[in-house]
Structure 1
Amino acid sequence: MSETPDSRKEPKEVSSPPLVSPSQVTVAGDSSQTINISGPSPETVSIGKSAAQTASASPAGAPPLPPSALGDSGATLALPPSAAFDSGATLPLHGNGDSGATLPLPPSAAFDSGATLPLHGNGDSGATLPLPSAGMASNATLESPSVGPTIDPVTGREIPYVSGYDILGELGRGGMGVVYKARQRKLNRLVALKMVLAGGHAGPEQLARFQIEAQAVAALQHPNIVQIYEVGESDSLPHFSLEYVDGAPLDKALAGKPQVPKDAARLLETLSHAMHFAHQHGIVHRDLKPANILVSSEGVPKITDFGLAKQLEGDSSQTKEGALMGTPSYMAPEQARGEFKDLGPAADVYSLGAMLYEMLVGRPPFLGATPFETIFQVIKEEPVPPSRLIPKLPQDIETICLKCLQKEPSKRYATAELLAEDCRRFVSGEPILSRPISPVERLWRWCRRNPRVAGLIATVASLLVV
Structure 2
Amino acid sequence: MNTASVATVARFAADWETALRESRAEPPPLAHYIPDGGVVRLAMLADLIRIDQRQRWRRRGSGRRMSEYGKDFPDLIGTAQFLELVCEEYALRRRYEAIGLREFCEEYPEQAAQLHRRFDDSDAGPGRVEVVTAMPIGIEVGIRLDDFDLLTELGGRISAKVFLARQLSMQRLVALRVEAGDEHDPRRVAQLDHQYIVRVFDQRVVATVSAAALRLQYMQYLPGGTGADLLRLIRSTTPHGGGVLLRSVDEAMEARGEIRPTDSTVRHEISALSWPETVAWVGSRLAVALDYAAQHGVSHGAVKPANVLFTAEGVPKLADFGRDAALAIDPEALPYQAPERLAALIDPAAPTPQAHVDLFALGVLLWEMLTGARPFDDPADADPDPLTSLRRAHDAGVGPDALERLPADTPATLRRVLLRCLDPDPVRRWQSGSELAGQLELCLDQRARDLVDPPPNSLRHRARRWPLLIAALCVGVPNLLASLYNIRLNQILIVDRLAAGDQQRFQTVALVNNAIAFPLASVVMLMLCRRALVAAHRLSRGRGYPAGALARARRETLSLGDRLVWVPFGMWLLAGVLWPLALMYTGVALPSRNFVQFYIAQVVCATIALAYPFFLATVYAVRSLYPQLLVAGPVGPEDGRQLGRLARWSNGYLAAAASVPLLAVASATFVPDGQLGLVVGPMRTLSVGGIVAFVLSYWLFRLSEVDLRALIRAVGRGAR
TM-score by length of 1: 0.52
Q: Measured at CA, do residues 326 and 158 of structure 1 come closer, stay the same or move farther in structure 2, by a change above 3 Å?
A: closer
Task: In structure 1, give the amino acid aligned to 2:369.
Answer: M
Task: Look up the SS of the partner of 1:401 in the other structure.
Answer: helix
Q: Measured at CA, do residues 364 and 218 of structure 1 come closer, stay the same or move farther in structure 2, by a change above 3 Å?
A: same
Q: Is the 2:299–2:322 contact (alpha carbons within 8 Å) kept by the matching residues of 1?
A: no
Aligned with residue 194 of structure 1, among 177, 201, 204: 177
Counterpart in 2 of 1:263? Answer: 278
How many residues align? The count is 269
Task: In structure 2, give the amino acid aligned to 1:355.
Answer: L
Spell out, residue by residue over 1:255-309, the C-alpha distance to the aligned partner (whole angstroms, 9 max, x if none). 2446511111111111111111011111111111122101122111110112514
Cα distance in 2, alignment partners of residues 234 and 397 from structure 1: 47
Cα distance in 1, alignment partners of residues 282 and 453 from structure 2: 19
Counterpart in 1 of 2:300? Answer: 285
Pairwise CA distance, 1:345: 2.9
Pairwise CA distance, 1:384: 3.7
Cα distance in 2, alignment partners of residues 328 and 150 from structure 1: 27
Counterpart in 1 of 2:230? Answer: 253
Determine if the alignment matches structure 1 residue 182 to structure 2 residue 192: no
Task: Look up the SS of the partner of 2:152 in the other structure.
Answer: strand
Task: In structure 1, give the amino acid aligned to 2:344.
Answer: G
Q: Gapped runs of 5+ residues in structure 2?
A: 4-135, 208-212, 240-274, 457-541, 543-720
Determine if the alignment matches structure 1 residue 164 to structure 2 residue 168: no
Q: Measured at CA, do residues 434 and 215 of structure 1 come closer, stay the same or move farther in structure 2, by a change above 3 Å?
A: farther
The within-5 A match list for 1:291-440 is: 291-309=306-324, 319=327, 327-338=333-344, 342-368=352-378, 369-370=380-381, 371-372=386-387, 373-384=389-400, 387-389=403-405, 390-429=407-446, 430-431=448-449
Q: Gapped runs of 5+ residues in structure 1?
A: 1-19, 21-148, 198-205, 311-316, 442-466
Cα distance in 2, alignment partners of residues 374 and 160 from structure 1: 40
Spell out, residue by residue over 1:388-427, the C-alpha distance to the aligned partner (whole angstroms, 9 max, x if none). 2234432221111100000111110121111111111121
Q: Measured at CA, do residues 411 and 239 of structure 1 come closer, stay the same or move farther in structure 2, by a change above 3 Å?
A: same
Determine if the alignment matches structure 1 residue 173 to structure 2 residue 156: yes
Pairwise CA distance, 1:436: 11
Q: Measured at CA, do residues 398 and 163 of structure 1 come closer, stay the same or move farther in structure 2, by a change above 3 Å?
A: same
Could you say which structure has the higher helix fraction?
2
Q: Measured at CA, do residues 436 and 195 of structure 1 come closer, stay the same or move farther in structure 2, by a change above 3 Å?
A: farther
Cα distance in 1, alignment partners of residues 391 and 166 from structure 2: 40
TM-score by length of 2: 0.34
Cα distance in 2, alignment partners of residues 346 and 397 from structure 1: 19
Counterpart in 2 of 1:219? Answer: 191
Counterpart in 1 of 2:695? Answer: none
Q: Measured at CA, do residues 192 and 392 of structure 1 come closer, stay the same or move farther in structure 2, by a change above 3 Å?
A: closer
The within-5 A match list for 1:99-178 is: 157=140, 161-178=144-161
Cα distance in 2, alignment partners of residues 305 and 167 from structure 1: 19
Cα distance in 1, alignment partners of residues 159 and 455 from structure 2: 40
Q: Measured at CA, do residues 376 and 150 of structure 1 come closer, stay the same or move farther in structure 2, by a change above 3 Å?
A: closer
Counterpart in 1 of 2:203? Answer: 231
Pairwise CA distance, 1:374: 3.4
Which of these two proteins has the greater Rg computed from alpha carbons? 2
Pairwise CA distance, 1:382: 3.4
Spell out, residue by residue over 1:73-105, the C-alpha distance to the aligned partner (whole angstroms, 9 max, x if none). xxxxxxxxxxxxxxxxxxxxxxxxxxxxxxxxx
Q: Measured at CA, do residues 414 and 337 of structure 1 come closer, stay the same or move farther in structure 2, by a change above 3 Å?
A: same
Cα distance in 2, alignment partners of residues 383 and 305 from structure 1: 31
Pairwise CA distance, 1:435: 10
Q: Measured at CA, do residues 283 and 385 of structure 1 come closer, stay the same or move farther in structure 2, by a change above 3 Å?
A: farther
Task: In structure 2, give the amino acid aligned to 1:222.
Answer: H
Pairwise CA distance, 1:381: 4.7
Aligned-residue identity in percent: 27
Task: In structure 2, give the amino acid aligned to 1:234.
Answer: V
Counterpart in 1 of 2:598? Answer: none
RMSD: 3.4
Task: In structure 1, give the amino acid aligned to 2:295.
Answer: Q
